[in-house]
Amino acid sequence: MPRHIIEFFWKPGHSWSPTERLQVSEELRSIARECFGSVPEYQCLAKTEAAFNDKLVVIARERTTRKAIAFTSAILLHVDGVEAQTIVHTGLTCILPQNQGQGLTHLLFGELALHLFDEFKYGIWFSNLAAVPSSLVNVGKSARDPFPFHKACAPHPVHIHIAQMISENYRSDMNVSEHAVFDYQTFVMKDAKNSESPMLKDPKDPKIQHRDVTMNGFYHKLLEGKGSEVLQIGFWDPIYIHPALAWKTKDWRHIQILLKNQPAYLVHRFGLRALALVLVLLLFGILSLLKPKSG
């Protein structure tokens, strides 16, 4: 039996009662306090009635005690000119220090992906703002066309468009200073966090490095300025993410959703001829299995 219970909520601020909202808020703020030392007043941690209205929240609990031990809170942002006119910002993830190293990051993101791609069947553009090399590497490896990323020479127009929309409209959603300067060549948000922010990170802290030393070095160079963060943009493609998450989490719902949405996905991405080709190949495969063996 799994040792954790994973709960998912889609924009729960619209359905929770004030009592439920307060209870969950206190649970998440308690986790954040242990992670950061103090609670940053933004995102799902803000003490406002609308704090959960636009969030996709995943909470991990201990199975025996039902204590909340980790959470991730993503946010859907309106961006004209991209798939579904929407991107998802990876947002905020916190895991109690004593529960780190238990694979909770994969479980949290896996649950988010199950619901996200059931809604956005053809994939979705995302943003990730971080000064943590392990986060930037892991998110980049999960994506199609991530930038900035090792060996990605220059941003595409869509990267620049999304970054501009974020810089101009969504700084407060990402806890970015209004005085921060965004570099459109490197995608670094300079002075994103001030020296007093509980979320200020040292990008060379050994505890937040990835196993890939080369990739760590790539982000170290971008994050030389204190308080800077990398704005990472990429496309999450369900045909890549579901198999990887099914393998890492052993949650085979990823394969079920992938198979359920596969015909529509193939038509959307490659046209009807691609779907026809797949059906022909499946038919030949079935016929070969049914063909009587000689001798």
Residue 285 lies in a domain: no
pLDDT reading at 266 higher than 70: no
Residue 124 lies in a domain: yes
Residue 286 lies in a domain: no
Residue 269 lies in a domain: yes
Residue 291 lies in a domain: no
Helices (H), 70-123: 104-119
pLDDT value, residue 251: 83
- Give per-residue pLDDT as tens, 173-193: 999 988 999 999 999 999 998
Count of domains observed in the chain: 1
pLDDT reading at 109 higher than 80: yes
pTM score: 0.84
* Contacts for 43 with CB less than 8 Å, ≥ 6 apart: 51, 55, 73, 75, 91, 92, 173, 175
Helices (H), the chain: 18-36, 104-119, 133-141, 157-169, 213-222, 238-249, 253-270, 272-290
pLDDT value, residue 210: 93
Residue 166 lies in a domain: yes
Which CATH number goes with the domain that contains 217? Answer: 3.40.630.30
* Pairing between β-strand 181-183 and β-strand 144-147 as defined by DSSP bridges: unpaired
Q: Which domain holds residue 14?
A: 4-280
User: For 68-74, what is the mean pLDDT?
Assistant: 97
